A and B are shown apart, each in its own frame.
Chain A
Amino acid sequence: MTSVLGVLFDGFAYGMLLFLLSVGLSVTLGMMNFVNLAHCSFGMIGGYVTVTLMNSMGWPFLATLPMAFIAAAATSVVFERTMFRRLYRASDLDQCLLTIGLVFASVAAAAYIYGTIQQPVNLPSYLRGSYQVMGVTLGAYRLFLIAFSLVVTAVLVISLEYTRFGAQVRAAVDNQRMARGLGINVDGAFAITFALGSGLAGLGGALAIDIVGLDPSFALAYLVYVLIVVSVGGLGSIGGSFVAATLLGISDMAGKYYFPEIGSFLIYLVMISLLMWRPAGLFGRRA
């Protein structure tokens, strides 16, 4: 019983990580239908910024997190303005090819600069260790991760529901042409959303180091997980991404714990079946 609760807890923390990594992609995909496979590369930038600041410049862990966010957001907006915007009306294939090209280049660049080894991260003492609650071991860092992600989710939902900018984003996701017709600056809103989403991915990349490690293959390995969250949750749906990320995190953790032989196999099987049942995702309104 306690082991079940432990797996649930770890899985939930892992799911929160996946949520941070993927929520930006969900919203931008819903807005522009742009298949950005390089999303996790921006996440990886965040991870490497944190590692560099901590290990070379001695910054404290928490202070590096905003920098990870800013670095990923700034880089992504440069790419969005110079390359991605030219392909908004292009086919899925062209979008996939361009962004997978960026993934390849980013993986190779990271391997060149940092080598292929796992990057170490030294957490501050208050994030290490664990607490015992009713016989269940709760890692301090995972508690921090969950609390952090819940705060981010709350901020996201509130700003999307109750601000003018959020209303513009929602309008653009629902019907881009109509939103343009009403005089909403969809391109501008998209650029900001894109930067924010990539920034969140960068934050996810930085927070992921202690849980899943960081090496150049991160951009490709977590791309699949992020795409699963986005497509199962439904495009443009924050709630959908949250549910899908939680489900994926818990089932992946449980699969690895209870059926280590076929854990990943089950994940892909469930994803394909879900997509066959609902091609637009669990909470999506359109494919």
Chain B
Amino acid sequence: MTSTDGALAGPQQYLRAQQRWRAIEIVFWLSLLLPFVVTPNYLVLASQVAITALFALSLDLILGYAGIVSLGHAAFFGFGAYTAGILSKHGWGEPLTGLLISGFAAGLLGYLMSFIIARFRHLALIMITLGFGFLLLELANSLGWLTGGADGLQGVKTWPLLGMFKFDLWGVTSYWYSLIVLFILFLVCRRLINSPFGLSLRGIRENAVRMRAVGAESRAHLQKIYTISAAIAGIAGALLTQTTDTVSLGVLNFERSADVLVILILGGAGRLYGGIIGAIIFLVARDQFSGINPQYWYFPIGVLLVVVVLFLPNGILGGLAQIVESERWQRWTANLTPWRKKP
């Protein structure tokens, strides 16, 4: 992993070292406040980025840490989005409780699915997650009386946040709201990953058979992380509903599952920050190229995927980490900062 001396000192020390906040992390989170000052016209986009980052984070938990490949994670995102939308349409537009209820509903669905997910691997797993995604899309499409079908859900109205802050056209409230939710859930994930539970998840990812041999029950662990991931994806979906006041079938479709996978892989899976970095790059690029036909937009995305898989297997963050950990870089920075002696 990142620190080699920590691993020698035993798992407790290793985890404690991982839990410590680094300066660059604090700088990163503070820099996410910059859009308020630097680009106040782009706050709507910024809140989309925060929501997508949260969704990618939820996928990272199962894909990056537990090694569960999912081609249908939009199912939980969409389930949360529709839950929040239907709640709001039928008279309960309070955002925070709506968020919690949607997260709980998606988590419940994830818990039920986890019984199936934990039993399969390889092609069967890919097919089941893919089929489940399509299943939910078809369900939402055919239950027109509940979801509005292909026309989308009409009449969603979210109340002001905490009774004070109305969701404005410029996205000031939306971005604050999404960013704070993202940060809180990021803290939860960070704590979760840097715990014995998180460590055993990585063990399952690396070698499930051996983990069972050392007495770690992998199925229960996989079910737990899948449920948590589904709940977070549902919260991300509910955030999208509440900040845009619309829900359409697009929240459930295959492109959304594929996009979030691309985002995570681009940023770097299994690194917590990978999804956030990926979301920033992906959505800002898409916004910049929005002039071209959305059909063509997928060409660079496809080529990018091929390039990342062939040449940058750990994503952008993985590539950066490789540079930072390399001998030459260490020597170079040691020369730059002579007061930081290498042990």
Other-chain contact of B123, A101, A108, A224, A231 (Cβ < 8 Å):
A231
Inter-chain contacts of A92 with B (CB < 8 A): 69, 122-123, 126
Inter-chain contacts of B299 with A (CB < 8 A): 104-105, 108-109, 112
Quick one: CB contact mask for B301-323 with A, threshold 8 Å, 1 for yes?
11111101110010000000000
Cα separation A275 to B265 with both chains bound (whole Å): 27
Inter-chain contacts of A101 with B (CB < 8 A): 301-306, 309
A224, B134: Cβ atoms under 8 Å?
Answer: yes
A96 within 8 A of B: yes
A275, B305: Cβ atoms under 8 Å?
Answer: no
Known A97-B261, A268-B134, A276-B116; judge A105-B309 contact (CB<8 A). Answer: no
B296 within 8 A of A: yes
Other-chain contact of A108, B63, B254, B295 (Cβ < 8 Å):
B295
B134, A108: Cβ atoms under 8 Å?
Answer: no
A105, B293: Cβ atoms under 8 Å?
Answer: no
A104, B302: Cβ atoms under 8 Å?
Answer: yes
Q: Which B110-147 residues have a C-beta within 8 angstroms of A?
A: 116, 119-124, 126-128, 130-132, 134-135, 138-139, 142
Other-chain contact of B127, A33, A105, A271 (Cβ < 8 Å):
A271
Inter-chain contacts of B63 with A (CB < 8 A): 93
Known A93-B69, A279-B124; judge A268-B138 contact (CB<8 A). Answer: yes
A51 within 8 A of B: no
A104, B298: Cβ atoms under 8 Å?
Answer: yes
* Minimal beta-carbon separation of B132 from chain A (angstroms): 7
Inter-chain contacts of B304 with A (CB < 8 A): 101
A105, B122: Cβ atoms under 8 Å?
Answer: no
A269 within 8 A of B: yes
A5 within 8 A of B: no
Of A102, A111, A265, most B-chain CB atoms within 10 Å: A265
Cα separation A231 to B120 with both chains bound (whole Å): 13
Cα separation A107 to B120 with both chains bound (whole Å): 30
B258 within 8 A of A: yes
A227 within 8 A of B: yes
Known A108-B295, A227-B127, A265-B142; judge A94-B306 contact (CB<8 A). Answer: no
* Minimal beta-carbon separation of A9 from chain B (angstroms): 26
Give the size category of B's interface with A.
35 or more
Cα separation A87 to B310 with both chains bound (whole Å): 8
Inter-chain contacts of A104 with B (CB < 8 A): 258, 298-299, 301-302, 305
* Minimal beta-carbon separation of B254 from chain A (angstroms): 7
Cα separation A221 to B252 with both chains bound (whole Å): 16
Give the size category of A's interface with B.
35 or more
* Minimal beta-carbon separation of B126 from chain A (angstroms): 7
Closest B residue to A110 by CB, please name it.
Answer: B295
B297 within 8 A of A: yes
B258, A111: Cβ atoms under 8 Å?
Answer: no
A29 within 8 A of B: yes
Inter-chain contacts of A35 with B (CB < 8 A): 123, 126
Quick one: CB contact mask for A76-111 with B, threshold 8 Å, 1 for yes?
000000010011001011101110111111111101
* Minimal beta-carbon separation of B119 from chain A (angstroms): 8
Quick one: CB contact mask for A198-230 with B, threshold 8 Å, 1 for yes?
000000000000000000100010001001101
A3 within 8 A of B: no
Closest A residue to B139 by CB, please name it.
Answer: A265
A97, B130: Cβ atoms under 8 Å?
Answer: no
B295, A216: Cβ atoms under 8 Å?
Answer: yes
* Minimal beta-carbon separation of B224 from chain A (angstroms): 21
B-binding residues in A (CB < 8 A): 29, 33, 35, 83, 86-87, 90, 92-94, 96-98, 100-109, 111-112, 116, 216, 220, 224, 227-228, 230-231, 235, 261-262, 264-265, 268-269, 271-272, 275-276, 279-280, 287
User: 16 A-B contacts, Cβ less than 8 Å apart?
Assistant: A92-B122, A97-B305, A98-B305, A98-B309, A104-B258, A104-B298, A105-B299, A105-B306, A108-B295, A108-B298, A111-B295, A111-B296, A265-B135, A265-B142, A268-B132, A275-B131
Give 7 nearest A-B pairs by CB, closest first. A101-B305, A105-B302, A104-B302, A108-B299, A111-B295, A265-B138, A104-B298
A-binding residues in B (CB < 8 A): 63, 69, 71, 116, 119-124, 126-128, 130-132, 134-135, 138-139, 142, 254, 258, 261-262, 265, 293, 295-299, 301-306, 308-310, 313
* Given A107-B298, A265-B139, 17 further pairs, Cβ under 8 A: A92-B122, A93-B69, A97-B261, A97-B262, A100-B302, A103-B302, A105-B298, A106-B302, A108-B295, A112-B296, A231-B124, A262-B142, A265-B135, A272-B116, A276-B116, A287-B120, A287-B122
